Amino acid sequence: MEVKGATLLYTLAGLMITFAGFSTLLLALRPAAGARVSLLDRFLAKTVMTHIFVLTAGALLPALLALYDIQEKWIWRGSAVLFALPMLSLQVTYPHRRRKVTGNGPPLAIFAILVVLGAAVTLAMLGYVLEGLPYSAAVYITALTIDFFTVTFSFLIADVIMQQPMEVSERPERPSQLARH
């Protein structure tokens, strides 16, 4: 039995794993570009990987439950609970975990997007699906997608870009290049 939206869920899982690899590669290349790997970098790498693997599990869970011929309404209810509880825990505890590791809480933009928006979407999805309202599959997949983009935005835009120096100095010319001028 194939669940509604299975193709979209598989596509999301593929995108999520690709993003996890990309973010790890980005953080691994920072030292090669001359930047030191900070406590924040290590914390972000661990946090992104954890969030992405919970999101990927959430994307694959409905298809897994469908293999057991579970009724569709219970597939979405079970998936909602098994995805939302760890995801909400990660979202709500993010500021405390970041402060504990780095000594500083997240910037306001990250707090608003990752914690407030992400947790609100996850909690709303959980309530909607558990209530058994129509289009539970669509609501579940939409919440999963929004949560993925809150993680993506928070990592790439707010943390990585905000850490970059405001001005990049030019490389000094080599003596051999000066002689040509």
Taking Cα atoms as reference points, which of 11, 85, 55, 86 lies closest to residue 152? 55
The predicted-structure confidence for 50-109, as pLDDT tens digits, reads as follows 999 999 999 999 999 999 999 999 999 999 999 999 999 999 999 999 999 999 999 898
> Is residue 164's pLDDT more than 60?
no
pLDDT score of 133: 96
CA 126 to CA 109: how far, in whole Å? 24
Taking Cα atoms as reference points, which of 148, 146, 155, 147 lies closest to residue 26? 155
Q: Angle between the 72-102 and 39-66 helix axes, to the nearest 10 degrees?
A: 170
Amino acid sitting at position 144: L
Average pLDDT taken over every residue of the chain = 88
Question: Beta-carbon neighbour count of residue 36 at 10 Å?
Answer: 7
CA 80 to CA 141: how far, in whole Å? 10
Residues sharing a CB contact under 8 Å with residue 152, sequence separation 6 or more, in sequence order:
19
CA dihedral 13, 17, 23, 25 (to 10 degrees): -160
